[in-house]
């Protein structure tokens, strides 16, 4: 067996070890150098019910990796002299009318996620509808001031490209990128007919709580989309052609070019630092790509997520290697992609191949004693016990195991899933005092402390808001609003974060950092409770669920 063949055997084994921890039944991964696809590893099922395995040709939705394709078309228009990245979008798209209280937003701001616009709620199933909603959600910081990821910002990119060129974005992508690169299985719109030869999308059974590895997988909701922020369908083989273009600095096969050397340099030059919580590896954002480093090697990368699909593209320009991983579900991709690049590099150099190390067991808590103890709150007390190599939480006769996955860089965090039907709506989150000692633990609305704390009550005017709210938004079908002492919090399974709500003027709340474009308010009255939670223009409606 050649070194490269053995490398892909190990990559497949590495992936197979991690499949039980993914919320996906199938995966495809491919690695390329500057000249050709070096190998493909596939595991699992494209369609569980039919027993159809994932094959190298299996197509998936690639999600936000699509943004880099749209950014390339924008750079082509700049080179042609038809687009000015510094022109206000009000000039580029005169039909759009929305407030810009901090100064004009430009195409540059949209391409770098520095416009101050909201991420977008996906309440509208169409691009024009999403942009109409966006007009009701003004930016909350000055353009260029900071990074905040915005899908709707890239929907605006697409609308501007269509205005400038007179062509639909999917057609622009096909004519200018897919066809020159020979990406014959790739298309830029998701229609109903797309389902005929696409891996089935999967999600975990429960849409109202954090996903656990014990939750069953079910087919995810189908969506139709043709917007510039994430509507490309492709397979691992075609995506290596795109990776080769990146490795060759914009050149296409046969001596052509997708971007000139100058335009490619502008396209990939770091523009704005990405906050730690919004990136998978340290780095900055360019135009539609993150620029950073992994294990001391420069990388260009972007992740992707659609309803029932996730993906990751990573290229190492100096090493001349690129990798793409596609899932019909969700789960960590960075470790597997990193291993694949390391294994192929070692094989090419004739070095020893990296060992296939099983993933960490989420139920094994190396620092369990750090959390053990009795915590007291308004709902009595809970005990956290180190038991074996794990942790359990105990209250009122209920015992539940805790699970935790490591952060991307291998460190551990202070958040745990609770493996119990009565406790799995929220994570257990530990808080530490200035000395680093775990001082308190929260579980949604409940808070328990090692040392007695005074309790404070939620203001009367907010008592009507807590509850579970539902929407037809396929990304975030559920919002939970809950009190904890005298504070309100917002949580959604899609975001996996809980945001403290800060009351603003005119009935609005800021979720988390008040400078960020996350705005919430409530409407209606049903037996003394709010009926509607409006978040960034999208609407969720009260449910009687717990």
- Whether the Cβ atoms of residue 486 and residue 456 lie closer than 8 Å to each other: yes
> pLDDT of 428-487, one tens digit each?
999 999 999 999 999 999 999 999 888 899 999 999 999 999 999 999 999 999 999 999
Which CATH number is associated with domain 460-543?
Answer: 2.40.128.600
| Mean pLDDT on 495-510 | 91
> pLDDT of 249-281, one tens digit each?
999 998 899 999 999 999 999 999 998 765 556
Q: Which residue pairs, CB below 8 angstroms and at least 24 apart, start in 520-523? A: 520/490, 522/464, 522/465
Q: Give the position of tokens 């991690």.
A: 18
- Whether the Cβ atoms of residue 227 and residue 130 lie closer than 8 Å to each other: yes
pTM over 0.85: yes
**How far is Cα 382 from Cα 393, in angstroms, rounded to an integer?**
7
Whether pLDDT at 172 is above 70: yes
Q: Residue 277's pLDDT is what?
A: 62
**How far is Cα 381 from Cα 386, in angstroms, rounded to an integer?**
17
Q: Using CA atoms in the order 55, 57, 61, 63, what is the torsion angle rounded to 10 degrees?
A: 100
Write down how long the chain is.
546
> pLDDT of 207-221, one tens digit each?
999 999 999 999 999
**Phi, psi for residue 500 in degrees, rounded to 5:** -70, 140
> pLDDT of 358-375, one tens digit each?
999 999 999 999 999 999
* CB within 8 Å of 460: residues ≥ 6 apart: none
- Whether the Cβ atoms of residue 203 and residue 308 lie closer than 8 Å to each other: yes
**Edge-first strand listing for the sheet containing 290-294:** 52-53, 37-47, 26-32, 321-327, 309-316, 297-306, 290-294, 283-285, 272-273
Question: Comparing C-alpha atoms, which of 415, 448, 444, 411 is closest to residue 429?
Answer: 415
**How far is Cα 211 from Cα 438, in angstroms, rounded to an integer?**
25
Question: Comparing C-alpha atoms, which of 80, 92, 110, 86 is closest to residue 259?
Answer: 80
> pLDDT of 114-159, one tens digit each?
999 999 998 999 999 999 999 889 999 999 999 999 999 999 999 9
SS3 state at 364: coil
The percent of residues in the chain predicted with pLDDT above 70, rounded, is 97
Question: Comparing C-alpha atoms, which of 533, 529, 512, 506 is closest to residue 521?
Answer: 533
Q: Residue 408's pLDDT is what?
A: 61
Residue 219 tokens, joined: 């087919």
Question: Comparing C-alpha atoms, which of 197, 173, 157 is closest to residue 61?
Answer: 197
Q: Residue 279's pLDDT is what?
A: 57
Mean pLDDT over each residue of the chain, to the nearest integer: 95
Integer angstrom CA distances of residue 364 from 61, 156, 398: 34, 45, 20
CATH label, 3-65+168-349, candidates 3.40.710.10, 3.40.718.10, 1.10.443.10, 3.40.220.10: 3.40.710.10
């Amino acid at each position: 067996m050649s070194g490269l063949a053995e490398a892909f055997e190990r990559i497949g084994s590495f992936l197979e070890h991690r499949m039980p921890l993914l919320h996906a039944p199938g995966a495809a991964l491919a690695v390329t150098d500057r000249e050709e696809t070096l190998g493909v590893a596939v595991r699992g099922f494209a369609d569980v019910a039919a027993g159809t395995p994932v094959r190298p040709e299996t197509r998936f939705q690639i999600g936000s990796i699509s943004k880099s394709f749209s950014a390339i078309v924008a750079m082509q228009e700049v080179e042609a002299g038809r687009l000015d990245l510094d022109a206000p979008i009000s000039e580029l798209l005169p039909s759009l009318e929305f407030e810009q209280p901090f100064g004009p937003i430009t195409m540059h701001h949209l391409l770098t996620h520095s416009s101050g616009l909201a991420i977008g709620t996906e309440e509208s199933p169409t691009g024009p509808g999403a942009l109409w909603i966006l007009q009701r959600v003004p930016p909350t910081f000055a353009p260029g001031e900071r990074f905040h990821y915005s899908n709707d910002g890239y929907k605006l990119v697409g609308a501007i490209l269509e205005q400038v060129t007179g062509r639909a974005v999917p057609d622009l992508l096909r004519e200018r990128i897919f066809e020159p690169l020979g990406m014959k299985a790739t298309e830029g719109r998701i229609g109903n007919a797309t389902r005929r030869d696409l891996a089935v999308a999967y999600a975990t059974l429960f849409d109202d709580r954090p996903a656990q590895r014990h939750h069953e997988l079910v087919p995810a909701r189908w969506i139709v989309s043709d917007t510039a922020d994430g509507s490309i369908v492709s397979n691992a083989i075609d995506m290596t052609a795109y990776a080769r273009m990146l490795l060759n600095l914009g050149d296409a096969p046969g001596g052509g070019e997708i971007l000139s050397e100058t335009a490619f340099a502008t396209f990939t030059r770091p523009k704005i630092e990405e906050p730690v919580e919004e990136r998978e590896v340290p780095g900055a954002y360019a135009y539609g790509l993150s620029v950073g480093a992994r294990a001391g090697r420069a990388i260009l990368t972007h992740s992707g997520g659609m309803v029932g699909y996730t993906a990751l593209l990573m290229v190492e320009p100096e090493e001349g290697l690129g990798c793409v991983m596609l899932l019909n579900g969700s789960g960590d991709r960075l470790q597997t992609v990193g291993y694949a690049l390391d294994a192929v590099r070692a094989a090419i150099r004739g070095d020893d191949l990296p060992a296939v190390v099983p993933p960490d067991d989420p139920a094994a808590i190396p620092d369990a004693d750090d959390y053990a103890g009795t915590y007291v709150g308004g709902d009595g007390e809970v005990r956290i016990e180190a038991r074996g190599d794990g942790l359990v939480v105990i209250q009122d006769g209920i015992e539940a195991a805790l699970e935790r996955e490591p952060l991307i860089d291998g460190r551990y965090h202070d958040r745990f899933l609770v493996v119990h039907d009565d406790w799995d709506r929220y994570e257990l989150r530990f808080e530490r005092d200035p000395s680093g000692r775990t001082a308190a633990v929260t579980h949604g609305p409940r808070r328990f402390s090692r040392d007695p704390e005074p309790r404070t009550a939620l203001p009367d005017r907010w008592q009507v808001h807590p509850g579970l709210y539902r929407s037809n938004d396929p990304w975030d079908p559920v919002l939970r609003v809950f009190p904890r002492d005298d504070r309100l919090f917002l949580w959604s399974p899609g975001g996996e974060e809980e945001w403290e709500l800060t009351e603003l003027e005119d009935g609005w709340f800021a979720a988390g950092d008040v400078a960020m474009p996350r705005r919430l308010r409530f409407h209606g009255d049903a037996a003394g409770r709010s009926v509607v939670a409006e978040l960034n223009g999208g609407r969720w409606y009260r449910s009687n669920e717990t």
